[in-house]
Amino acid sequence: RRVPPHPGIPFKLLEILDIENTPCVQNLISCGSLGSLGAGLGHFLLTSGIRRSGNVAGVGGFILVILGYWSHCRYNYAKTRIQERIAIEGIKNRILYENTHLYPERKQIDSSSSSN
């Protein structure tokens, strides 16, 4: 009988991969399992070879789905993190330069009012 993990202790897969704190891992495992099941079932329907369907298509499908999903998910995660950093930097600059002569919107307002 396996004892459930304590609230402060992270759950690790094979004592290496921290599932709770690593982005994309929870969905990765479920999609990989469904992908291997689908690949194995598809291979079985095409060839009627039970053992080969389980071995080759199941494991191969799992690996292919995991690699594809991992790269897609990590790309989107990195893109989101970059957008967050840009937004935070923009907010910091707005707070820092607001109501000063360096504020870009103030320059546009000043130039439009002086041309009238």
Q: Which pair of structure tokens corresponds to residue 103?
A: 């504020």
Model pTM above 0.85 = no
Q: Which pair of structure tokens corresponds to residue 12?
A: 């690790």
* Residues forming beta bridges with residue 18, ordered by sequence position: 12
Q: Across the chain, how many H-helices and E-strands are there?
A: 4, 2
Mean pLDDT, residues 7-36 = 69
The CB-side HSE value for 6 (13 A sphere, CA atoms) comes to 2
Which range has the top average pLDDT, 19-23, 44-48, 55-59, 73-77?
Answer: 73-77
Q: Is the pLDDT of residue 2 over 70?
A: no
pLDDT of res. 20: 66
Cα gap 90→105, rounded to integer Å: 13
Cα gap 61→47, rounded to integer Å: 16
Domain extents in the chain:
23-115
Give the closest residue to 53 by CA, choosing from 67, 64, 63, 42.
42
Per-residue pLDDT band at 111 (split at 50, 70, 90): low
Looking at per-residue pLDDT, the higher value among 79 and 100 belongs to: 79
Cα gap 86→35, rounded to integer Å: 36
Per-residue pLDDT band at 63 (split at 50, 70, 90): confident
- Average pLDDT score, the chain: 76
In angstroms, how far is CA 109 from the centroid of its own chain? 41
Looking at per-residue pLDDT, the higher value among 44 and 1 belongs to: 44
Looking at per-residue pLDDT, the higher value among 16 and 116 belongs to: 16
